[in-house]
Amino acid sequence: MLLVVGDSLSAEYGLPRGTGWVALLGRRLAEEKLGWRIVNASISGDTTSGGRTRLPALLREHRPQVVLIELGGNDALRGLPLAMTQDNLTTMTRAAKAAGARVLIAGMQVPPNYGRQYSEDFARLFATVAKAENVALVPFLLAGVADGPDAERLFQPDRIHPTSEAQPRMLGNVWPVLRPLLRS
């Protein structure tokens, strides 16, 4: 079983049900007959603190073999301390590993208006946790969406949440990193 613990980017915020990247992942797993079930425990607006609080119960209830952590974007939007975000991601990663799960962290970036140093440090913290904990990493979940030439049309009017059209690209960022974890 694959557990996804994320925020609005994984919870289909503003999208028709069944069109988000996690739902597309579920369809791909079924089409390829890989025998994996997904539990999407993502909540719009969630932070790493919220995920850290919810994760122990999710691990006990679902006993996942793989945990995909897609949190941190709301931490940055709220200006929370980077050290806190990093500590929460580390704690979640260690808890999932202690429960016997393989872990994939989906990294995030923030727009440059947060300041160059903050933006760089924020992007780097995901890689820092993944390397320190020896887990898989998608460096930037929104690669090819937020940083592509057609970025404006791939976001909902709020300019935060990707459209249905962007979801296959997001899955395309996750799939090559996730697939080897599903074979282990």
The tens digit of pLDDT for each residue in 135-174 reads: 999 999 999 999 988 889 999 999 999 999 999 999 999 9
Answer yes or no: are the C-beta atoms of 7 and 44 closer than 8 Å. yes
User: Rounded to an integer, what distance in angstroms lies between the CA atom of residue 164 and that of residue 15?
Assistant: 6
CA 128 from chain centre, in angstroms, equals 16
Average pLDDT of the residues in 172-177: 98
- Cβ-contact 102, 66 below 8 angstroms: yes
pLDDT of residue 112: 77
- The one-character DSSP state at 105 is E
What does the alpha-carbon distance between residue 136 and residue 98 come to, in Å, rounded to a whole number?
16
CA distance 165 to 151: 11
Distance between CA atoms of 20 and 7, rounded to whole angstroms?
12
Which pLDDT does position 114 carry in this prediction?
A: 80
Q: Give yes or no for residue 116 having a pLDDT over 90.
A: no
Side-chain-facing half-sphere of 39: CA atoms under 13 Å: 15
Q: Which residues pair with 102 in a beta bridge?
A: 66
The one-letter code for the residue type at 164 is S
**Alpha-carbon span 138 to 132, nearest angstrom:** 15
Q: What is the pTM of this model?
A: 0.96
Q: Which active-site residues does the annotation give?
A: 8, 158, 161
Cβ proximity of 91 and 128 under 8 Å: no
What's the average model confidence in pLDDT over 46-71? 98
Give me the helix-helix angle, 116-133 and 82-98, nearest 10°.
20
Say whether pLDDT at 184 is over 90.
no
